[in-house]
């Protein structure tokens, strides 16, 4: 069962009215999240910046443009992805969110994940990594890796804003995104296998289109036990 648009909009409405932490005092508006209720991929950043605060949508500034082009470079359309942040209101002067703010806001993100139940969650930067995979390790070790927890796939990535002025980091981010495409193909195949519908040849087509790991997918189609697939 995927979320309905009404459920997601109801949550967004509560976020827009929220006064649970001091960030509501300095915001222009809260930025709940953006994307279809049916999205299979969620991206989680840190906090809204100046442009986001003004427009009410996540990742609409320079970092957002880089995110869009990174997604497009591996054949993903930003409009298919649900994008949100750890905290929903802009911290003054873009300072890091404080622990109490993260804590006050975190139930909204939990609700978003619970509603959409995405196959893959992209963790953009160390704040998202710390919040959703506490204790897993640092971003420099985990970036681009597929981390499975609670039946869900997480992929920590460097934050696009950090890559804006660092060419080396941008190349790393591009390489990591290419791996994400394969992870998505695997996740899709697993979902199809669980639904019991897809044949091995369907899965091979998905894998070939996405450059994913064909052997894993064929094993999945054959019902090959858990096979360490997920």
Work out whether 104 is an interface residue with ligand SF4 (CB under 6 A).
yes
Residue from 32, 33, 35, 49 in contact with ligand URA (CB under 6 A): 49
- 147-149 and 120-124 as β-strands: parallel, antiparallel, unpaired? unpaired
Tell me which stretch binds ligand URA (CB under 6 A): 57-65, 114-122, 132-140, 181-189.
57-65
> What is the closest distance, in whole angstroms, from the C-beta atom of residue 105 to ligand SF4 in the complex?
3
What does each C-alpha distance from 49 to 94, 96, 117, 211 come to in angstroms?
6, 11, 26, 35
Considering only residues 72 to 101 of the shown chain, the ones binding ligand SF4 according to CB under 6 A are 87-89, 101
Work out whether 48 is an interface residue with ligand URA (CB under 6 A).
yes
DSSP 38: T
Which residues make Cβ contacts (< 8 Å) with residue 152, sequence separation at least 6?
113, 118, 119, 120, 121
> Which residues, in sequence order, are bridge partners of residue 120?
41, 153
Residue from 8, 11, 23, 41 in contact with ligand SF4 (CB under 6 A): 23
Interface with ligand SF4: number of residues (CB under 6 A)? 14
Work out whether 187 is an interface residue with ligand URA (CB under 6 A).
no
Helix pair 200-210, 214-221: axis angle to 10 deg: 160
Catalog residues that contact ligand SF4 under the rule CB under 6 A: 15, 18-21, 23-24, 30, 87-89, 101, 104-105
């Amino acid at each position: 069962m995927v979320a309905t648009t009404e459920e997601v909009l109801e949550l967004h409405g509560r976020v827009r009215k929220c006064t649970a932490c001091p960030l509501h005092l300095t915001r222009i508006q809260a930025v709940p999240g953006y994307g279809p209720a049916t999205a299979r991929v969620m991206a989680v950043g840190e906090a809204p910046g100046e442009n986001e605060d003004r427009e009410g949508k996540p990742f609409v500034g320079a970092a957002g443009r880089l995110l869009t082009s990174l997604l497009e470079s591996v054949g993903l359309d930003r409009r298919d992805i649900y994008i949100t942040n750890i905290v929903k209101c802009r911290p003054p002067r873009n300072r890091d969110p404080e622990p109490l703010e993260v804590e006050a806001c975190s139930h909204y993100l939990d609700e978003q994940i619970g509603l959409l139940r995405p196959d893959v969650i992209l963790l953009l930067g160390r704040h998202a990594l710390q919040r959703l995979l506490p204790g897993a390790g640092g971003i420099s070790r985990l970036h681009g890796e597929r981390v499975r927890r609670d039946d869900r796939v997480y992929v920590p990535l460097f934050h696009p804003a950090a890559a804006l002025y660092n060419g080396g980091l941008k190349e790393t981010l591009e390489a990591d995104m290419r791996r994400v495409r394969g992870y998505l193909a695997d996740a899709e195949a697993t979902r199809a296998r669980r639904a019991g519908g897809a044949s091995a040849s369907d899965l091979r087509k998905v894998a070939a289109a996405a450059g994913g790991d064909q052997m894993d997918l064929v094993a999945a189609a054959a019902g090959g036990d858990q096979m360490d697939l997920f």
